Amino acid sequence: MNPIAAFRDRLGTLRNLPKLFRLVWRTSPTLNLATVALRLIRALLPAAALYVGKLIIDLVVAESKLPHPSLGFGDWMTSGRLDHIVLLVLAEAGLGIVSDLLGRASAFVGDLLGQRYSDSASLALMRHAATLDLEQFESADQQDRLDRARRQVTGRASILQLVFGQAQDAVTVVALAIGFAAYAPWLLLLLTLALVPATLGELHFNREGYRLAFGRTPERRQVDYFRYLGASVETAKEIKLFGLERFLSDRYAGLSDVMYGETRRLAARRALWGGLFATISALSYYAGYASILWRTLEGAITIGDLGFLAGSLLRLRSLLEGLLLGLSQLAAQAVYLDDLFSFFDIVPAIRSPDEPHAFPVPIRGGIRFEDVGFRYIGAERWAVRHLDLDIRAGEVVALVGENGAGKTTIVKLLSRLYDPTEGRITIDGIDLRAFDLEDLRTRIALILQDFVRYSFSASENIAVGAIAQADDDARIADAAERALADRVIDRLPLGYAQPLGRRFKDSVEAANGRRSPSHAPTCVTVTSWSSTSRPPRSTREPSTTSSYASASSLADAPA
């Protein structure tokens, strides 16, 4: 790719910024307006301070050439010859104080806005992830995509400060350039051209850094996984029992060493070229500075003009360098925003219809699988094929078979975690795809073998099956009593308010349930109830599984 095309490609990543601005604006319009106003005012102060300094120098030089009234400071003040200088000094001091206060205020508002953005973007990510299909989570490529998006939500909040800082510096550059252009406009062109190579270099290496980070996403996830395994309370027992410490540390060290080596080589090349480009920039600055000194010696400009131009030149060099390099950093960060917004662009295949059919209450005809077949993405073997099954209302059907026989797949199809590859599933003759997803799933209670143990309170764990009823203490207590979970909860120090698990302070394990051998056949029970019937009370003793009860009216649990 030629340099111009490469430059255009790298700047093309800035297309993500309008999306970011819309997201940030929705976060808090008030904070956005406050940030813009504070930074705009502060951006004009450097040029004003330099000009006031020029006036002070010219006045001092002019006064120094006049006869002194006396050697006493009081005589100088009473003569009135210092009045103008004093006012200018006070004005310069005021500009410095205001600039500092505005800087602190803009930093404060920026921090608030950054926190609000991170929270808002995280919430949007969670809500969008909740709409995606289960298969979109189970794909390794999609997991890499989700991991990158999750990192960008919290890792790119600094881009807001960078954008606002760039805008502020751009206004300052314009203000300084207006005054500077009256003396030596060609120096502005020289400074800008001298910084172009450094900008192109930064754009190139930022792009290379992104490609390296993007390509190493699977390895980074593995590194994170080994770090979790080696320092987690959930895995500590087995790590010790099986002697996995050396295995995990060696795998972690091997992967991290490879990633470190690639990062070191890229950083070395970046530092070498960066030093060369910085030298070019410095030489251009001192060429301009020498030109200003010569014009002063010629008498073309005053000493005050020299101070103003020298200060402006120094500030412009710093600002232009910051703007151009900041633009490359902005382009680099905008590349990473691709990971976030491309995740938001993922559209789930399993969705509610525009005009959903009302779910039958009560169910009268039952559930029917009609020549149902399902095959996981990328799999050659069918998980289920040519399945015909009728479950009448009120009937209990147990699906028994070896691991991998398709029992769990059938239940996931019934709850529309997947849609059949072939055939269809109906309830009272209505295709599942005609129902609203939320309406369908709230009427199905599903406990999988790999169920999640939430670090919530005991009450909230019970309400997971019908989370909208989390405040209904009577219903939660009734569900716990019917599932025999009340016996476990009675032993907890805080009862239903007791946090479960070991992740947070004051949490406890609810029960020490037994785990079935991994080679043992498993059984899934599907029970459909009419709205007027009541599930029978379980006669089993409570276990780890049954201690997390559901308040739903359809139940599916291990037999």
Strand bridging mode 422-427 / 430-431: antiparallel
- Let me know how many helices (H) and strands (E) the chain has, helices first: 18, 7
Band of the pLDDT at 120, cuts 50, 70, 90? confident
pLDDT digits (tens, 9 = 90+) for 495-515: 888 888 877 777 787 554 333
Alpha carbon 131 to chain centroid distance?
18
Question: Average pLDDT of 470-490?
Answer: 88
Element (H, E) at 396: strand 396-401
Q: How far apart, in whole angstroms, are the C-alpha atoms of residue 59 and residue 84?
A: 8
Q: Which has the higher per-residue pLDDT, 68 or 273?
A: 273
pLDDT for residue 451: 74
Residue 56 token pair: 């002070």
pLDDT digits (tens, 9 = 90+) for 155-189: 555 677 778 888 888 888 888 777 776 666 766 66
pLDDT for residue 522: 33
Domains, the chain: 12-344 (1.20.1560.10), 367-558 (3.40.50.300)
Mind giving me the DSSP string for 274-331? HHHHHHHHHHHHHHHHHHHHHHHHHTSS-HHHHHHHHHHHHHHHHHHHHHHHHHHHHH
CB of 480 within 8 A of CB of 455? Answer: no
pLDDT for residue 537: 37
**pLDDT > 90 in the chain, percent:** 10
Report the interhelical angle of 3-11 vs 185-215 (nearest 10°): 80
pLDDT of 51 > 70? The answer is: yes
Going across the sheet that includes 555-558, the strands are 396-401, 522-527, 555-558
Lowest mean pLDDT among 103-112, 139-148, 546-555: 546-555
Report the interhelical angle of 303-344 vs 29-64 (nearest 10°): 170
pLDDT for residue 529: 33
Lowest mean pLDDT among 28-32, 144-148, 278-282, 549-553: 549-553
**Averaged pLDDT score across all residues of the chain:** 75
Question: Which amino acid makes up residue 170?
Answer: A
pTM equals: 0.56
pLDDT for residue 215: 72
pLDDT of 521 > 90? The answer is: no
- Give the three-state DSSP class for 385: strand
Side-chain-side CA neighbours of residue 172 (13 Å): 27
CB of 555 within 8 A of CB of 446? Answer: no
Report the interhelical angle of 185-215 vs 158-181 (nearest 10°): 160
pLDDT of 431 > 90? The answer is: yes
Band of the pLDDT at 261, cuts 50, 70, 90? confident
CB of 186 within 8 A of CB of 313? Answer: no
C-alpha distances in angstroms, 237 versus 165, 196, 229, 232, 499?
50, 58, 11, 10, 22
pLDDT digits (tens, 9 = 90+) for 72-91: 666 666 666 677 888 888 99
* Backbone CA torsion sign across 170, 175, 178, 179: negative
